[in-house]
Amino acid sequence: MESQASATDRFSLVGRVAVVTGGSRGLGAAICTAFAAQGATVVIVSRKQQACDDLATRLQEAGGTAAGFACHVGHWADCDTLIEHVYSQFGRVDVLVNNAGMSPTYGAIGEVSEGLFDKVIAVNLKGPWRLATQIGTRMAASAGGSIINVTSVGAVRPGKTELPYAAAKAGLNNLTIGLSRALGPQVRVNAIMPGAFLTDMSDSWDSSTFDAFAKRKIVLARGGNPDEIVGAALYLASDASSYTTGAVIKVDGGAVYAPA
């Protein structure tokens, strides 16, 4: 029993401050909820302050400690303001989750505008770079920490309708490995590579079309539920992964290795 308790304790986040971008909904909200339940002080970050505050209130009502902060991670000035705010209010960051992402629809690839392309790269790659390098540098100079980048299976198996997004996420996979070397040994840097998850963003999908796709292309034959991401997130955020860095963990129901 003692060894089991010790193993459970390694997933504890008590006393740690965790910043989660894209944290007010979808996978980000599931991660924030799990971190708060494990004792972390959670800073919920998204573009809309009210959405951040609403989730923070729900987590507080459930006995957790949470605060919201509005930030457009595609803008470095916003990222820097977020960093200064968190360190001023909480004094430290132990866990950074770069989860914010966007993938706007487009028509023919030749019609993708420079504005759309730049916006996708900014949110999915430029912002994570800024937050990881600035917070990671502070982590390395103090007690260390864990950085988790949320990428996508599109990084290794891009679809024709998400090419700028897939390119950005491929860059984030690469950045994860490079930063693990640049910020180690004090800071661990890893990535979670999700497949299709049934979040609020999937509400616009045609369910029968997706179900048919899942049966053909996903080994587990379904989309993931948001709470099915939290095991990987808790592992990478906590001492349970103390010897894991530079890893890209696939959480996709087997989609990458399903028949093309």
pLDDT tens digits, 130-145? 999 999 999 999 999 9
**pLDDT on residue 3:** 53
Identify the band that residue 259 occupies on the pLDDT scale cut at 50, 70 and 90: low
Mean pLDDT of the chain: 94
User: Is 207 a domain residue?
Assistant: yes
| Residue 52: burial class (beta carbons within 10 Å; 0-12, 13-18, 19+) | buried
Residue 5 has pLDDT above 60, yes or no: no
User: Is 56 a domain residue?
Assistant: yes
User: Is 147 a domain residue?
Assistant: yes
User: Is 99 a domain residue?
Assistant: yes
Q: Determine how many CB atoms are found less than 10 A away from the CB of residue 79.
A: 25
**pLDDT on residue 24:** 97
User: Is 257 a domain residue?
Assistant: no
Domain count, the chain: 1
Range of the domain at 163: 2-251
Residue 258 has pLDDT above 80, yes or no: no
| 165 in active site | yes
**pLDDT on residue 44:** 98
CATH of the domain at 13: 3.40.50.720
**Mean of pLDDT values over 70-99:** 98
**Mean of pLDDT values over 104-127:** 95
| Residue 210: burial class (beta carbons within 10 Å; 0-12, 13-18, 19+) | middle
User: Is 21 a domain residue?
Assistant: yes
3-class DSSP string for the chain: CHHHHHHHHCCCCCCCEEEEECCCCHHHHHHHHHHHHCCCEEEEEECCHHHHHHHHHHHHHCCCEEEEEECCCCCHHHHHHHHHHHHHHHCCCCEEEECCCCCCCCCCHHHCCHHHHHHHHHHHHHHHHHHHHHHHHHHHHCCCEEEEEECCHHHCCCCCCCHHHHHHHHHHHHHHHHHHHHHCCCEEEEEEEECCECCHHHHHCCHHHHHHHHHHHCCCCCCECHHHHHHHHHHHHCHHHCCCCCCEEEECCCCCCCCC
User: Is 88 a domain residue?
Assistant: yes
Measured CA to CA, the distance from residue 236 to residue 147 in angstroms comes to 8
- What pTM did the predictor assign? 0.94
- Which residue of the set 165, 235, 243, 257 is catalytic? 165
